[in-house]
Copies of this chain bind each other. A is one copy, B any other.
Amino acid sequence: MFYLTIDILGTVAFAISGVLVAMEKKLDLFGVLIIAFVTAIGGGTLRDLLIGNTPVAWMKDLTYVSTIFITVVFAILFASKLKYLRKSLFLFDTIGIGLYTMVGIEKGLQADLLPVMCIALGTMTASFGGVTRDILCNEIPVIFRKEIYATACILGGASYFLLLQFSIPERYAYIAAILIVIVLRLLAVKFSISLPNIYKKQEE
């Protein structure tokens, strides 16, 4: 129940982020639906394919598809209220990656993967939907922009395993890791933190 709730919240956040990008690109109704859908299920689909969990999660029952559909209807109805599309997009995208990072790690643990593979799986789960959304909408994939993006997922995921080492109860560590991903990305953008430059030598 707990894990399903997190998964559904992530689906909602990514579906909204998909609607926002698609509406900015003035796609038609079907285009908006498909981008919302791809953004919300992209990460989980890649994750399930890589660990061999087929048919992939969203095909097994109506949970995901109906969640996305209802979210899109609401997002379109209230889109005119979202004056600052860019800002809300960033927020929903960030919440989405926080939630999906941990969903991916959880599924990796269930598949008996090593912690480092779970973190990689979580990072891919978190970023693949947004990358596909951006490629389909002809934007530079979010993961390659200046901000620390995947790095936030990796650090958040690593902190989960670290917290478990200190005997923090599993569920608290889980929620703490989600918040760490979200806060790290918010701080990175607020203070324009980016990764160290590795080109000094060559550029001289």
A contact set with B: CB distance below 8 Å: 23, 26-32, 34, 45, 49-52, 54-56, 59, 61-62, 65, 76, 79-80, 111, 113-114, 116-117, 120-121, 136, 141, 143-144, 146, 148, 150-151, 194-199, 201-202
Contacts and interface: CB of A to CB of B under 8 A. Distances in A.
Nearest to A198: B29
Contacts of A117: 59, 65
Contact of A45 (B50, B121, B143, B151): B50
B59 A29 contact: no
A183 to B, nearest CB: 18
28 contacts: A26-B199, A28-B194, A28-B195, A29-B195, A29-B196, A29-B198, A30-B148, A30-B150, A31-B144, A34-B143, A45-B50, A49-B54, A50-B55, A50-B56, A51-B54, A51-B59, A52-B54, A52-B55, A59-B117, A59-B120, A62-B114, A65-B117, A65-B120, A79-B202, A80-B201, A80-B202, A136-B141, A136-B144
